[in-house]
Chains A and B, each alone.
Chain A
């Protein structure tokens, strides 16, 4: 182990190499490292944001679905109610029509039967008078016995 001027040469080389590293090696590598760290941080932040957005969208979709379901149910119950009402109205109207028709028919039938009875009564009276006339041609005076005939007719 001898000491000589190599010592100082080595000292100079030391500083030249260190200076070179400081100037040309260290900054680009640190810059790349910092940029990458920034990129990763940005990426993580973006991922978080996307996750939050997704949760928000999912919540929104659920809300929409629920409100759609609610309004559909509302529509359905409204329609059902309306249909029931229509049916009820139709039923009432039908019943009324049937009753009216029946009443009309009954009135008609009663009138007809009354008329028929009247006619029949008239007819029978006439027949009876005619028969009686034929039988009692001479004895019976139509005018004298009209009261009797009318009475008879009303009894028929």
Chain B
């Protein structure tokens, strides 16, 4: 990021620079919450990964035949069958939208997480050549990205609660579950339900965000070790980077799977009365 003649960034500056989003305002967001700002990098990469995933699935779907499948078609079919069987065992009801949601979520999150495998400096460095000075390439390491998706799941939960139980039935459940149907218990029940919905949604988004953010941070620290340009630093970078990247393959797939499973579980809970 800095040539030899310029002043080299300190470790803190390097990490801080890597953790700064490319925002729509052009500079770093000042307050913790600012609804007028968009993270352009997160949006660009999440939409790109979403389109890439959708495009691959679409290609498989277009050429899907009931005859002997090719390798690519078979791979997509294995994925689809996995999602279908999971959704069938968790959600009892009309799954014509839920199962595709789960598939989308899995593929999308998987691809966004997989951006972590690219060398941590590569895309920001390329961006710099085109005058883009800040860029974070892992959309799931941005809380906005993951909470956006978990909010979507929350909306689906509310929608299916109303659809399955009827609006009155759902309101009734809000006040009578989990402790029972008694006027004294109504406020407690309602508070519990609100806490449950909030906790589900926040933990859903936070879990993915935390894991990917931490993973990205470790890649940055490993990159920092290599940037010392000493023999020990170089080998440390190679060894630690390899180990962490290999371990990260597990994290990436596991987190995508967990996110999909929780999506199904939460929507499945909306289908079941207390």
Contacts and interface: CB of A to CB of B under 8 A. Distances in A.
B243 interface: no
A132 B73 CA distance: 148
A58 to B, nearest CB: 32
Interface stretch (A1-9, A63-71, A78-86): A1-9
Chain A's interface size range is: 20 to 34
B38 A4 contact: yes
Do most interface residues of chain A lie in helix, strand or loop, or is the interface mixed? Answer: helix
B38 A25 contact: no
Interface stretch (A16-24, A46-54, A108-116): A16-24
Given A21-B54, A21-B57, A32 B64 contact: yes
B10 interface: no
B29 A14 contact: no
Contacts of B105: 14, 18
A33 interface: yes
A9 B45 CA distance: 13
B77 A29 contact: yes
Contact of A10 (B37, B42, B66, B96): B42
Contact of A25 (B31, B84, B103, B152): B103
A11 B151 contact: yes
Contacts of A32: 64-66, 69, 77
Interface string B237-269: 000000000000000000000000000000000
A29 B53 CA distance: 15
Interface in B138-173: 139, 142-145, 147-149, 151-152, 155
A138 interface: no
B64 A31 contact: yes
With most chain A CB atoms within 10 A of its CB, the pick from B36, B53, B57 is: B57
Contacts of A127: none
B175 interface: no
B152 A6 contact: no
Given A17-B54, A18-B97, A2 B151 contact: no
Contact of A28 (B54, B64, B142, B148): B64
A27 B80 CA distance: 11
Contacts of B80: 26, 29-30, 33
A75 B33 CA distance: 108
B100 interface: yes
Given A6-B43, A14-B152, A29-B80, A21 B143 contact: no
Contacts of B60: 25, 29
A89 interface: no
29 contacts: A1-B143, A2-B37, A3-B147, A4-B34, A4-B35, A4-B37, A4-B38, A5-B38, A6-B37, A8-B148, A10-B139, A10-B144, A10-B147, A11-B148, A11-B151, A13-B43, A13-B47, A17-B50, A17-B54, A20-B54, A22-B96, A22-B100, A25-B54, A25-B58, A25-B100, A26-B100, A32-B69, A33-B81, A35-B66
Interface of A: 1-11, 13-15, 17-18, 20-22, 24-33, 35-36, 38-39
Interface of B: 21, 23, 29, 31-39, 42-43, 46-47, 50, 53-54, 57-58, 60-62, 64-67, 69, 76-77, 80-81, 84, 96-97, 99-101, 103-105, 108, 139, 142-145, 147-149, 151-152, 155, 209, 213
